[in-house]
């Protein structure tokens, strides 16, 4: 029988009744003739609650111990869903990431999957069971429990779909697919029927929370189509796949990201030295602006996701000790990003974005463009208004 991998986010399994509804959906898929592997996130706000406990004990918890703690959330979800399925008469078994054969790097809190050995999953599927897998986690070659970073359950699902040669990888959330903007910010946002891997990866990296960027990277490398769907009722969702034919619109979506710190560096700091400092602490980021050169000051702005920093206060102190006033740390800025193939084929989108920001009174602190992306760094107070304005200006809605 064909295999399908389904992933359910934290809000979809937040409580006993929602777990039962997920179990019924999984049962229906199995009854339709599929072998089913289900990846689950932690229930509701469990991860945030566990992180708050850790911060109550230590201002800068060791990343290894955080991984040991945070992986408990997904284990709760997997066991409860397995129980719910068995109550419906569906044979099921739950596995942690390590039991599922998910092998990762040893970078705690931000590990990357390097290999999947799904031997036990194959064995249990052959016995007619539904296999429930704890998302967001794996085990390193050093036998250390690791986590995959924010949204890592998506990556778990795609990696398993590739390893199992699954017919489909379905990602379920509260919304029916991917929209051209956050509907809570832009009520007229349109649901996108399809997106290329590259477009989706850019949107995810820039703050869209429907899918995880690393998951899309995995899907692209292995040709796995991702179906983003709603966990509530029926819907057509969005297919993320390789698109051979360009779409009918250059701009696909606008997204904002407020959950970041912005590091601004000026001479005498050498950029390679700053990047080496950040790499040594596993701090990832996006370079938004790099200017200056011979005869003038050189500055760069690096946006760092706050979710990827454990111990922001300690990192700030280290930066001040190492670089003094030459590197500033700001948390009052955010990005608005427009994504689409050929978006910057001419200057019109950037020009219109800058004019829109000016008319809203939003100072543009930095900008970044690529063939797929246009990003403005502005004060957080202007993020929602600028997102709605650019959606209207560039997408007509």
- Numbered residues of the known binding site: 7-10, 47, 74, 184, 209-210
Cα(95)–Cα(89) distance, rounded to whole angstroms?
A: 19
**Token match 């897998």: residue?**
133
Cα(52)–Cα(90) distance, rounded to whole angstroms?
A: 36
Helix, strand, coil content of the chain in percent (nearest 5) = 40, 25, 35
Question: In angstroms, how far is CA 51 from the centroid of its own chain?
Answer: 18
CA distances in angstroms from 142 to 72, 160, 354, listed in the order given = 20, 21, 49
Conformation bin of residue 291: beta by default, left when phi > 0, alpha when psi is -120 to 50: beta
Cα(152)–Cα(246) distance, rounded to whole angstroms?
A: 29
**Token match 């390679």: residue?**
272
The 3-state secondary structure of 28-52, one letter per residue: HHHHCCCEEEEEECCCCCHHHHHHH
Supply 129's token pair: 């069971």
Annotated binding site for substrate: 47, 74
Cα(227)–Cα(166) distance, rounded to whole angstroms?
A: 13
Closest CA to 236 of 200, 195, 192, 183: 192
């Amino acid at each position: 029988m064909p295999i399908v991998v389904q992933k359910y986010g934290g809000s979809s399994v937040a409580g006993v009744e929602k777990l039962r509804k997920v179990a019924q959906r999984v049962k229906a898929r199995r009854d339709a003739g599929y072998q089913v592997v289900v990846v689950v996130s932690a229930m509701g706000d469990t991860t945030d609650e566990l992180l708050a406990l850790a911060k109550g004990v230590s201002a800068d918890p060791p990343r290894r111990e955080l991984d040991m703690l945070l992986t408990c959330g997904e284990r709760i979800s997997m066991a409860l869903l397995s129980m719910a399925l068995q109550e419906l008469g569906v044979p099921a078994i739950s596995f942690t990431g390590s039991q599922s054969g998910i092998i990762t790097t040893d970078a705690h809190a931000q590990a990357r999957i390097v290999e999947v050995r799904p031997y036990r999953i194959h064995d249990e599927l052959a016995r007619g069971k539904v296999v429930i897998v704890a998302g967001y986690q794996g085990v390193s070659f050093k036998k250390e429990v690791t986590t995959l970073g924010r949204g890592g359950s998506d990556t778990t699902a795609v990696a398993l779909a590739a390893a199992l040669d699954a017919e489909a990888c379905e990602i379920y959330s509260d919304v029916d697919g991917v929209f051209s903007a956050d509907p809570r910010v832009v009520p007229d946002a349109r649901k996108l029927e399809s997106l290329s891997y590259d477009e989706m990866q850019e949107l995810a990296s820039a703050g869209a929370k429907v899918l995880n960027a690393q998951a899309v990277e995995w899907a692209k490398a292995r040709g796995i189509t991702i179906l983003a769907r709603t966990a509530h009722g029926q819907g057509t969702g969005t297919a993320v796949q390789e698109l051979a034919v360009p779409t009918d619109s250059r701009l696909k979506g606008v997204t904002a990201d407020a959950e970041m710190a912005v590091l601004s560096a000026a001479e005498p700091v050498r950029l390679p030295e700053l990047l080496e400092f950040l790499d040594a602490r596993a701090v990832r980021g996006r370079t938004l602006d790099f200017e200056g050169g011979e005869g003038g000051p050189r500055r760069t702005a690096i946006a760092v996701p706050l979710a990827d920093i454990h111990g922001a206060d300690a990192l700030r102190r280290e930066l001040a000790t190492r670089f003094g006033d030459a590197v500033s740390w700001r948390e009052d800025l955010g990005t608005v990003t427009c994504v689409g193939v050929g978006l910057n084929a001419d200057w019109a989108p950037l020009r219109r974005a800058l004019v829109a920001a000016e008319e809203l009174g939003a100072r543009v602190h930095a900008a970044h463009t690529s063939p797929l992306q246009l990003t403005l760094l502005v004060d957080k107070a202007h993020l929602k208004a600028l997102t709605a304005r650019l959606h209207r200006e560039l997408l007509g809605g």
